[in-house]
Structure 1
Amino acid sequence: MRVGVIGHGAIGSYLVDHIVSTDGLELSFVLTRTPVADVPWPATSELTEELLDGTDLVIEAAHPDIIATYGEQILSHADLMVVSAGGLVDDVRREQLVASARKHGRRIVVPYGALTGLESLAGRPSAWRSATITFVKPPQAFEPAPSDVRNSSVLYDGPVRGVAARYPRNVNAMVTFALATVGLDEARAVLVSDPSQSFATLDFTVTGKDGGTLHVTKNQPLIGVSGSEMPDAIVHSLRMHAGGRPGLWFG
């Protein structure tokens, strides 16, 4: 499988190292705004048809805007793994991308990331009646930073669609959760800044139409705005995709 990577930050560089050291995977290209010197693989700041030809999967690990800029171009050649799930919040854009994926026989894959239990959620989305997801993080883990960094405060409480517009780099798991369950307007997001926290806490509850519930809580150290497990989780999603079990996907 030939894999292209967009972004060369903490997640992108980790993916590149994994791909070049794994049998059965070949690095097609790395798209990055910052020049990368003295590397044995194609690094570029411009995505071209030539690079995409022969590429099987492109992993976006940069910013939601990448999906709007390059999504349809990528899907005309390869499957697309969207790490910045906020790029799928706009319904019109998402449907355009899904239509493009279907036209070209491709898939849009949303990786597991911080969301434990994605397969259980995505496997039966019509069964859920309500869904709530809460993030509690220290102030420095938010981008943009909260105005009050000394006191605990609720930064947002409402539909997932709204929080994605305010904190596009902090809420990928929330968007994935909403897409896998009751939708962006029905899933509730609660975002809390707490200076007493050194870890990130993710807590979600889904209630089924049969009255049953699923409740998951996870505490994780942080790397920047993401949990420390994020790079490994994306690699896990890559392995699952290569094995034909992509988790949450469209197309």
Structure 2
Amino acid sequence: MRTVSVIGHGEIGGALVRGIADLNAWQLGRVLTRHAVPDLEEQTQDGNRFLVHPVDLIIDAAGPDALRALGPRALAIAPVWSVGAVAMAAPEFQARIAAVSEKSGHPLRLFACGMANMPLTARRLRITMRSAEIEASWTGPLSQAVARWPDMLNSAVAVALNGPGLEATVLSMQAGGTNGVHEIEIEAEEDGITWQRTIRFDASSQTSHPVARMLLTELARANRRWRGV
């Protein structure tokens, strides 16, 4: 039985914590919360207390601010999974994380909901996002977009950092669409091959947060003795 601790108990973190109880090979360590959560024995609001608890994995389910604040210290203790890839858009923070990872031997894994398995050798990447929450359309390098939409681009940054980088990734933010619906189109080019993917998120038909489901799926996969593609 391995132990996983979780940073955050919001929409993603709360669903993740509840789901861990159903995983046979994982047990919950500590949950770092901003405020007291009823009936959650493992919670703490003290970052130091959270980090001293022995774990095999730490999941940042709170986003880029949490990764900036706790990522280096957490990575010194255990491997870290994070949904806050926007924090890694800053070269200085990238360098800091790389140094800690090299010293500790623990990797940082950035999660991109619905965008996994894009080619790591892609020379160019184009991401188009459509949402009613986007007030004005915009197109340009992803590196310039993270300051304008820091809460919407974690998955895009994760894909770009695992591929050609932020400067070689073109982002198109398109206003419009239905409230509660987000559409993402991804196109990657490598060696004469074009990869395309379209993802559509509809909040009205979701029974749980898609990022929490993805994290739980990956926790279950981590204990398989074999896997296919």
For the criterion TM > 0.5, the same-fold answer is yes
Give the partner amino acid of 2:192: G
Change (3 A) 1:108 1:240: farther
Give the partner amino acid of 1:135: M
Distance 1:25 1:11 in 2: 18
Contact 2:30 2:50 in 1 (8 A): no
Change (3 A) 1:219 1:195: closer
Distance 2:58 2:85 in 1: 14
Per the TM alignment, residue 121 of structure 1 is displaced from its structure 2 partner at its CA by 2.0
Secondary structure of 1:119's partner? coil
Structure 1 unmatched ranges of 5 or more = 147-152, 246-251
Per the TM alignment, residue 30 of structure 1 is displaced from its structure 2 partner at its CA by 0.7
Give the partner amino acid of 1:104: S
Q: Structure 1 vs Structure 2: percent identity of aligned residues?
A: 24
| Number of residue-to-residue matches in the alignment | 222
Change (3 A) 1:201 1:165: same
Give the partner amino acid of 1:105: G
Per the TM alignment, residue 129 of structure 1 is displaced from its structure 2 partner at its CA by 2.2
Per the TM alignment, residue 196 of structure 1 is displaced from its structure 2 partner at its CA by 4.2
Per the TM alignment, residue 175 of structure 1 is displaced from its structure 2 partner at its CA by 0.4
Secondary structure of 1:190's partner? strand
Q: Which residue of 1 is the match for residue 154 of structure 2? A: 172
Query: Does structure 1 residue 214 correspond to structure 2 residue 208?
Result: no
Contact 1:138 1:194 in 2 (8 A): yes
Distance 1:12 1:94 in 2: 24
Per the TM alignment, residue 36 of structure 1 is displaced from its structure 2 partner at its CA by 0.7
Query: Does structure 1 residue 92 correspond to structure 2 residue 92?
Result: yes
Q: Which residue of 1 is the match for residue 29 of structure 2? A: 28
Structure 2 unmatched ranges of 5 or more = none
Change (3 A) 1:56 1:211: same
Of 102, 119, 122, the residue aligned with 2:117 is 119
**Normalised by the size of structure 2, how large is the TM-score?**
0.88
Per the TM alignment, residue 81 of structure 1 is displaced from its structure 2 partner at its CA by 0.6
Distance 1:65 1:58 in 2: 15
Query: Does structure 1 residue 230 correspond to structure 2 residue 224?
Result: no
Pairing 1:1-251 to 2, within 5 Å after superposition: 1-39=2-40, 41-48=41-48, 51-115=51-115, 118-122=116-120, 125=121, 128-139=122-133, 146=135, 153-154=136-137, 156-196=138-178, 198-208=180-190, 210-222=191-203, 228-243=209-224
Contact 2:111 2:155 in 1 (8 A): no
